[in-house]
Amino acid sequence: MGVPVAVRGAKRWALVWAGLVLGAAVVLGVVVTKPWWAHSDHVCCALPPDTSAIEDVPERWQAAVADGDVPAAWGMLTPEAQRRYGSQHGLEAALDGLRPSSRAAATWWLTNSYTQGRGTPSRFFYLLVEDESLRPVRAVVVHSRADGTPDGRIDPDVPATVRIQEPASRAVVGPRPRMRSATGVPPSYTVVQSENIVRGAVGSIREADGRDAPFSHAGPLRPGPALIVAVRYDGRYAYGAVRVTVRGDA
């Protein structure tokens, strides 16, 4: 027995309406919901930063300052740094204070970074450290969008005002040292050793006794001399560092 025409028509209209509702839901989802690549506040969903074109910026800045090449150095500054110096003449007057205080062999280490992925405003904290003595010489911050273009600009005014209270300078520490810094919130910690760098945990790591435990899940640190670096950011960067010796126990 055949299906009545009215019933077949009703079914067809039901299917049409279902399709319209589904299509509207899809369109609404596209309009209201950001695609995964638009969530710049989620690092998990962004492409990783591309710093290949800015990794030599600290070395080029150092060379321009050492050579007294004011136009080149000026062109590498961030707009904010240019405003602080006022003009190329202002920068030229400050060059002596921007030159490294040591002629010993030294390496620029990337000790802290803030980025939400490729193409986002990013900051990279570089510290110049003497290769043999592990003495910190100078710090700069490179600003970039981390998109693979040579857009890196320098802020060279980074004070060494973060005070590390524990461990003491020249102390012998274990492979996962606990830290105490004179900061309201835990800074970011990094350890520089010979041809090696270890970055501590990021986040709320301060314990009840006021000490920070940044290396609980990192490392362990290699035995031998080490420079522990604490970096604080509260709108402007500052850092502190202490040289220690890591003992060889597990």
Q: b/e per residue, 193-225, with b = 16+ CB within 10 A?
A: beeeebbbbeeebbeeeebbbbbeebbebbeeb
Confidence of residue 44 (pLDDT cuts 50, 70, 90): low
What one-character-per-residue DSSP string does 150-190 give? S--EEE------PPEEESPTT-EE-SS--BEESSSS--EEE
State the chain's maximal CA–CA distance in angstroms: 100
- Tens digit of each residue's pLDDT (9 = 90 or more) over 51-83: 999 999 999 999 999 999 999 999 999 999 999
Beta bridge pairs of residue 242: 228
Whole-number pLDDT of residue 1 = 44
Residue 226 has pLDDT above 70, yes or no: yes
- The Cα 205–Cα 217 span in angstroms is 11
Backbone phi and psi for residue 97, each to the nearest 5 degrees, phi listed first? -75, -15
- Give percent above pLDDT 70 in the chain: 80
Mean pLDDT of 20-41: 36
Assess whether pLDDT exceeds 80 at residue 90.
yes
All residues at 6 or more sequence positions from 196 whose CB lies less than 8 Å from its CB, including other chains: 222
- Predicted confidence (pLDDT) per residue in 100-155, tens digit: 877 899 999 999 999 999 999 999 999 999 999 999 999 999 999 999 999 999 99
